[in-house]
Amino acid sequence: MSIRGGLVDVMGQTLTEKILSDHLVEGELEPGEEIGIEIDQVLTQDTTGTLVWLQFEALDLDEVQTELAAQYCDHQTYQFDFKNTDDHRFLRSAAGKFGAHFSRPGNGICHNVHKENFAAPGKTMLGSDSHTPTPGGLGELAIGAGGLDVSVAMGGGAYYIDMPEIVNVRLEGELPEWATAKDVILELLRRLSVKGGVGKVLEYTGPGVETLSVPERTTITNMGTELGATTSIFPTDEKTEDYLERLGRGEDYEEIGPDTDAEYHDEIVVDLSELEPLIAEPSMPDNIVPVREAAGQDVEQVMIGSCTNGGYEDILPAAKMLEGREVNKTTEMIVAPGSKQASEMLARDGWASELMAAGVNFSESTCGACIGIGHVPASDSVSLRTFNRNFEGRSGLEDDNVYLCSPEVAAAAAIKGEIVDPRDLAEELGDMEAPGFELPDVYDGSKADLIPPEEAVDDELVKGPNIGDVPLKDELDAHLEGPALLKMDDNITTDHIIPATQDILMYRSNIPKLSEFTLSRVDETFADRALESDGGFLVAGENYGQGSSREHAALCPMYLGVEGVLAQSFARIHKANLFNFGLLPLEINEDTYEKIDQGDDIEIVDDVAEAVRSGQEEFTIRVNDDWEATGYLDASEREREILADGGKLSHTKKQYEQE
């Protein structure tokens, strides 16, 4: 029995409900209802962080109000151009001026470094990166969001979200040899698809939980994002306490879990003992098959790293498999540890030299190759990666063939030069043992690259010439009309809308320039056509905007004059970003989607501004002055006000003025 909202509730609570009710500032925990929650920790990274701070500044906020905020420089650390370095310098100055921890470029990927240094059970966290849910593996309720939501939360404002459904993912049994945590999440992707988790929190329970270490759990929670889930979370136990102690943070431990009579909206059972090595084929993380079905394909590149499998413990099994062996002469293998701490420890333990001796190259601890910066695969070749996303073209090569798998499967392919189930390779070689999963006694990396707010080196913002202003939009018009500028399929990713490769990424804080690349991967003429047309709509199928949290995917279309998106359904973070930048997201049914052609004239017949503010849910869409269809606006009162005010920046400024 627990107390919630002042009433004695006879039903037990899930872990998610417990953390949410501890942090609830508005609303009730009813699925679909909007709730406001208090945020304890904030995470931001270099490619979304510049906007986070520019918006923080534009809101006239002057000091971080959350318990902790951390600015990481991880996505683009190679500093190819002064623009990247300018961004990093600006971020250090913003962290110093406003009071955040600053992690220097090269210190590691935000999720890995945050997990090692700050993540703690029972806390809430908001991050401007879609893989923010990673520390769910140690009981933190962490959610990815657009940068503007993060700025507002960092200024002490609540974070608003529709109360998700909570799904019980019950783990039974124990992983057999050669099956890994990566295979658990690949199995869920096989069953549920990339949109199977939208509007849901996946809460892991059952006897299988205690068989997994915290880093294995965080591999699973990290990739819950690929299911579209709001977040994923594990209860805490001795394994969590032990992990925090090895990190030197035993005092952060707290025992938390669901009530025994907690009620869930749904249940999925995964018997760990039935899992086998799996692989995601190109070019969607839910194209899952057993490794044996993909075996025999030549592999030219193998990469171990990323926020999913870049930990010391993830690289160790591969190192053990390669000890005394060599990478096949037809293959290149690169290890990019997720944090500098992992690199440092592998170097001290001698495992880095074992890997080097086997023919492996080490990269800086960075996202890099995961978003097409460096190690771009050769044309018409297979690249096998331990990453979490293989959206087409994300590697930097348009028609790429990127497969996703565990470090064990990756190392097996590096040895054999082709995709092979490690069980079959072990049998073939006769002397290769399953490496198992092992934690170091202590995580003892240096903290030299982490600058706490009290040791800040800057107290004023430093803005180089590449750092622009955040464009503002006027209030929503009464009359919206324009062409269907582009018609797209299902599952369009934010990588399609604003790609993240090096030549484009350096303009993340220069919106006019960045906008030139909007949807260029779908249609090179889009940006010019949008500017010329002075208004218009995007049309898309299901799950529009899946993938990243980058608010640029809404901000740049807004800058080009796009007024709304008509889609069969939207991904959660992107839909919030559309509201935040004043773009009307209308849901349409399949018939309407099929009937609209690119170039058609679209008119929203209602007085749009008035209808949005008054709570109207159905909008009449007139096409070519010829036929009509209905568009649905699924939005809370708060989202409607934001939209009508021309976006969250104008809306929040207005609110602050009224206070």
Residues that bind ligand MIC (CB under 6 A): 47-48, 75, 129-131, 371, 500, 547-550
User: Among 201, 327, 371, 382, which residue sits at the site for ligand SF4 (rule: CB under 6 A)?
Assistant: 371
Tokens 């993540």 -> residue: 119
When CB distances are held under 5 to 8 angstroms depending on the partner's kind, the choice from ligand MIC, ligand SF4, none that residue 47 binds is ligand MIC
Least distance from C-beta 417 to ligand SF4, angstroms? Answer: 26
When CB distances are held under 5 to 8 angstroms depending on the partner's kind, the choice from ligand MIC, ligand SF4, none that residue 231 binds is none
When CB distances are held under 5 to 8 angstroms depending on the partner's kind, the choice from ligand MIC, ligand SF4, none that residue 550 binds is ligand MIC
Amino acid identity for residue 185 in this structure: I
Would you state the structure tokens that stand for residue 40, as one six-digit string?
């304890």
Least distance from C-beta 551 to ligand MIC, angstroms? Answer: 9
Least distance from C-beta 400 to ligand MIC, angstroms? Answer: 15
Contact 212, 239 (CB under 8 A): yes
Contact 394, 372 (CB under 8 A): yes
Contact positions with ligand SF4 (CB under 6 A) in 322-341: none
Q: What is the dihedral of CA 192, 198, 203, 204, to 10 degrees?
A: 20
Task: Give the binding range for ligand SF4 (CB under 6 A) out of 157-165, 366-374, 517-525, 633-641.
Answer: 366-374
User: Among 17, 86, 129, 149, which residue sits at the site for ligand SF4 (rule: CB under 6 A)?
Assistant: 129
- Verify binding: residue 495, ligand SF4, rule CB under 6 A: no
What is the rounded distance in angstroms from the CA atom of residue 581 to the CA atom of residue 558? 7
When CB distances are held under 5 to 8 angstroms depending on the partner's kind, the choice from ligand SF4, ligand MIC, none that residue 48 binds is ligand MIC
Burial letters 174-210, b for 16+ CB under 10 A, else e? ebeebbbbbbbbbbbbbebbbbbbbebbbbbbbebbe
- Verify binding: residue 388, ligand SF4, rule CB under 6 A: yes
- Verify binding: residue 394, ligand SF4, rule CB under 6 A: no
Least distance from C-beta 264 to ligand MIC, angstroms? Answer: 27
Would you state the structure tokens that stand for residue 507, as one six-digit string?
């303009």
- Verify binding: residue 131, ligand SF4, rule CB under 6 A: yes
Whether the ω angle into residue 232 lies within 30 degrees of 0, i.e. cis, is: no
What is the rounded distance in angstroms from the CA atom of residue 131 to the CA atom of residue 453? 24
Least distance from C-beta 109 to ligand SF4, angstroms? Answer: 5
Contact 160, 258 (CB under 8 A): no
CA angle 416, 418, 422 (to 5 degrees): 60
Q: Is 559 helix (H, G, I), strand (E, B) or coil?
A: helix
- 34 φ, ψ to 5°? -75, 135
Closer CB to ligand SF4, 129 or 418, in the complex: 129
When CB distances are held under 5 to 8 angstroms depending on the partner's kind, the choice from ligand SF4, ligand MIC, none that residue 109 binds is ligand SF4
What is the rounded distance in angstroms from the CA atom of residue 247 to the CA atom of residue 525? 51
Closer CB to ligand MIC, 77 or 549, in the complex: 549
What is the rounded distance in angstroms from the CA atom of residue 523 to the CA atom of residue 527? 9
Closer CB to ligand SF4, 13 or 543, in the complex: 543
Least distance from C-beta 371 to ligand SF4, angstroms? Answer: 5
3-state SS string over 352-397?
HHHHHHCCEEECCECCHHHHCCCCCCCCCCEEEECCCCCECCCCCC
What is the rounded distance in angstroms from the CA atom of residue 652 to the CA atom of residue 658? 10
Closer CB to ligand SF4, 214 or 583, in the complex: 214
User: Among 18, 23, 75, 648, which residue sits at the site for ligand SF4 (rule: CB under 6 A)?
Assistant: 75
Least distance from C-beta 547 to ligand MIC, angstroms? Answer: 6
- Verify binding: residue 46, ligand SF4, rule CB under 6 A: no
- Verify binding: residue 367, ligand SF4, rule CB under 6 A: yes
Closer CB to ligand MIC, 202 or 420, in the complex: 202
Interface residue list for ligand SF4 (CB under 6 A): 75, 109, 129, 131, 306-307, 367, 370-371, 388-389
